Amino acid sequence: MFFAAAMTSVIISALIVWSLARETWTFVTQVEVAALWTDGWFPRRGMYDVKTIVVGSALITGIALAVAIPIGLAAAIFLAEYARPRVRRVLKPVLEILAGIPSVVLGFFALTFISPQIVQRFTDASQFNMLAAGMAVGVLTIPLIASVSEDAMRSVPDSLREASYGLGARKVQTTLRVVIPAAVSGLVAALIIAVSRAIGETMVVFVAAGATGGSLYSTNILGPGQTMTAAIASQAAGTDQVVGEGLTFQSLFFVAMLLFVITMFLNLVADRFVRRVRQSY
């Protein structure tokens, strides 16, 4: 019986692949190749420009990482190397609470606070813009980067630190030249997991980046944009059946398959890096 329960996870994976594969196959075999390279992603009008949503996802991810890496890494180094146990007990839950905030809430925050108060104050961005959405996705990935990198640095044995102090190194030198190089696999894993999470984030972009229904190809982060995830959600939102020209419905499965393959690849690579940290210490 317990075996059956454990096997459900395998069955779920199989079901995911099965449900994606059928319609993806229909899409791939029936779509005109020319429709995959047009001016924008408007599935209801038969325009499936894949680069629009892939570049959108890449831009959002890039902005998110620019926000999350410095903050997340600094928090991780502070918690792992500098904070006294008591300070750590207070500060760590802050990150964990931040991790528990649902992404719709960050979408609302991006739209009603980050966009008007921060982005529009310094630029002439439109109300819906990718920069604000990307920053909010960054906030979501801060706790992830922080906790995975902190784990990696804490698993570096103290003997390495003591050896470094014994040679007369200071705390900064020990942290930057001994602990971080020793934990580098874990830090890379944190980065990859963050990328995977940012690519898969839906609701922030859905709420705050505009472009419901479709988007022209755009690399302007101050304007609205569409990611792979939001493209799926916005086609399905509010309608009983996904309607539109020919392959609209199938295109969702195609995008989801793309997303599934990309994130699975990233997750497996990250897993390998995490394992490497564990093996060496």
- Give the full edge-to-edge strand order of the sheet including 215-216: 47-48, 40-42, 215-216
61 binds another protein (CB under 8 A): no
Q: How far is the CB of 34 from another protein (least distance, A)?
A: 26
Sign of the CA dihedral with 151 first, then 180, 171, and 66 last:
negative
Nearest to another protein of 59, 197 (CB atom): 197
Q: How far is the CB of 113 from another protein (least distance, A)?
A: 5
111 binds another protein (CB under 8 A): yes
HSE-up of residue 254 (Cα within 13 Å, Cβ side)? 21
266 binds another protein (CB under 8 A): yes
6 binds another protein (CB under 8 A): yes
79 binds another protein (CB under 8 A): yes
Q: Are 76 and 149 a contacting pair, CB within 8 Å? A: yes
* Of positions 27, 48, 206, 273, contacts another protein by CB under 8 A: 206
Q: Which pair of tokens denotes residue 12?
A: 């779920």
Nearest to another protein of 163, 268 (CB atom): 268
User: Taking contact as CB under 8 A, which single stretch among the options 27-35, 156-164, 180-188, 231-239 is the one that binds another protein?
Assistant: 231-239
| Residues binding another protein: number (CB under 8 A) | 88
Nearest to another protein of 182, 256 (CB atom): 256
Site for another protein in 36-55 (CB under 8 A): none
In whole angstroms, give the CA distance from residue 34 to residue 49: 9
In whole angstroms, give the CA distance from residue 183 to residue 196: 20
User: Taking contact as CB under 8 A, which single stretch among the options 1-9, 28-36, 39-47, 178-186 is the one that binds another protein?
Assistant: 1-9
In whole angstroms, give the CA distance from residue 226 to residue 216: 9
Phi-psi region of 128 (alpha: psi -120 to 50; beta: other; left: phi over 0): beta
In whole angstroms, give the CA distance from residue 247 to residue 46: 7
Q: Are 90 and 187 a contacting pair, CB within 8 Å? A: no
In whole angstroms, give the CA distance from residue 199 to residue 134: 10
In whole angstroms, give the CA distance from residue 135 to residue 130: 8
2 binds another protein (CB under 8 A): yes
Q: How far is the CB of 230 from another protein (least distance, A)?
A: 9
User: Taking contact as CB under 8 A, which single stretch among the options 45-53, 152-160, 166-174, 181-189 is the one that binds another protein?
Assistant: 166-174
86 binds another protein (CB under 8 A): no
In whole angstroms, give the CA distance from residue 146 to residue 71: 8
User: Taking contact as CB under 8 A, which single stretch among the options 33-41, 73-81, 152-160, 182-190 is the one that binds another protein?
Assistant: 73-81
Site for another protein in 127-146 (CB under 8 A): 139, 142-143, 146
